[in-house]
Amino acid sequence: MDLDEYCLRQDDLIRISAEQGSRFAKLVAGDFNPIHDADSKRFCVPGDLLFALVLNHYGLSEQMQFRFRGMVAADQPLVFAAVEGPELSIAGPEGRVYLEVERKGATSRHAELIEALTRRYVAFSGHNFPHVLQPLLERHGVMFNPERPLIIYDSMGFSLSRLALTPEQTEGLALTLAHSELAVQGKRGVVTLEFRLDVPEPGGGRATVGQGSKRLVVSSLRDYDARRMDEIIAEFNRRKAAGHRPLPALAGLD
């Protein structure tokens, strides 16, 4: 994956245009959230693109934790400075932090492994709505405000038991949802999506080589309305098939 298609690099600065961020969301992540449309007044850079850029720039560590601290607007300069320690921050030149990263253990610069993990994760992440979130919300009898949905990508992290994989294992790397849960706290809900990473073994079968989780925060919860949710999903699917049909943005679901 050539990430230079989705950003502009200048020394230690990276900028992402609305067109680049939108193209990544749709072509790589399969994410048709309107907040990632290039012409959206509320456009923000997909969090999964920031995730991909961090792995590409700093390498893949055995344990990594990502915490999103703010939405990145189009063409916002981001500093990707050289960092030696276990903690790093992606911030603007003025100092505002948008992403915090913690890393532990060995680090791999293996391009094929980084690309495989990146593609598997962003494909999983980009399909959270409606595939995973809708059944979860329905099961708990709650939903977001249909007029102004607010679902924030809070954090994600993973732990890998090994980084040394054969080419066949790297190609066969799979990421699957292992568990999902929603904790309702008044008008606020915290969604945790746990996933598993496994690879094919030379003798047959598959072996788990890692696990991780993604956390989302859903605001303005209200009673679940099946008819309204069906309308939202139908319009979401029509919009996806057509390209860019107008739809209230699922703010922060990136």
Residue spans of the domains in the chain: they are 3-242
CB 152 within 8 A of CB 219: yes
First-to-last C-alpha distance (Å) of the chain: 19
Which CATH number, 2.40.160, 2.60.40, 2.30.30, 1.10.3470, labels domain 3-242?
2.40.160
Q: How far apart are CA 198 and CA 98, in angstroms?
A: 31
> HEC states along 42-106?
CCCCCHHHHHHHHHHHHCEEEEEEEEECCCCCCCCCEECCCCCCCEEEEECCCCCEEEEEEEEEE
Q: What is the pLDDT of residue 24?
A: 93
Q: What is the pLDDT of residue 245?
A: 43
Q: What is the pLDDT of residue 253?
A: 46
Give this prediction's pTM.
0.90
Q: Which residues of the chain have pLDDT under 70?
A: 242-254
